[in-house]
Amino acid sequence: MRNKVVMVTGANSGMGLATSIELAQRGAHVIMVCRNEERARLAHEEAVRQSGSERIEWMLGDLGDLDSIRKLVVDFKKKFDVLDVLINNAGVVSLKHEYTQHGFEIHMGINHLGHFLLTNLLIDKLKNAEQGRIVNVSSGAYKVGKIHFDDPALKKRYHVVKGYAQSKLANILFTKQLAERLKDSRVTANCLHPGAVMTNLGIDRKTGFGKRVYALLRPFFLTPKEGAQSAIYLATSSEITGVSGEYFYRQEVKNLSVRANNKQDAEHLWRWSEEQVELYMK
């Protein structure tokens, strides 16, 4: 990975931070995308300390804010002509029915639409790479997911599992359609299930709700470093050069449900996503 440029979203903690550290150790120039400047600075210091590399920098980017995503891309393109790997890692789990700044249901807005826009705005720089790679962090929760095209904001009936699972299924359908659209290029797109990883997802930052449950379950979870291994594999391995449109778990391609292989849904989701962010795609 020496001298390759890698962008990791949600890099201030958990798997994003662990991924950034290991890729920097392997020689990559890592851009850590974080939404908060204070947390970005602290995470950057930690990444430099643990990796021993100075080839790490941070950029601000809030995946729930389309304006912020546009600014991130502008800032990136001022400094770099090539992006070798984009790891769409940032994610949210919300117990409450919340919305992003632009009015999207928070799971769909951050976990899918934010990365949809970011990826499309960076496609030209990925195509400049010798072999560009897009790595989307999904989840096994996709299996209980459904894309509610008639009510994507889940206004009729909301539940955290319903929202999260819909967004994780969207990650896979996005990957499938992205791979199809990039099939005549040197850029590949794959997604993964990292396993059950101990992160801050699902913990209410204001009340701390969820911490006790996590404490009880901690022995059964993977560490962020362990959970990051699939993303690192997809970003670095020569074994999968040219492999695209697949879903990985523990560094192996896994079969998907019928719903996750639905080509019509993947095309429909792409068109819907374009319509939601079209003002920011130009």
Catalytic residues: 164
> Would you state the structure tokens that stand for residue 226, as one six-digit string?
């362990």
Helices (H) and strands (E) in the chain, counts: 10, 8
* Partners of residue 85 on adjacent β-strands: 6, 133
Angle (nearest 5°) at CA 164 between 150 and 252: 115
Hey, CA dihedral for 261, 191, 116, 244, is it positive or negative?
Answer: negative
Other Cβ atoms closer than 10 A to 105: 26
Residue reference for tokens 């999260």? 164
Residue reference for tokens 């697949």? 246
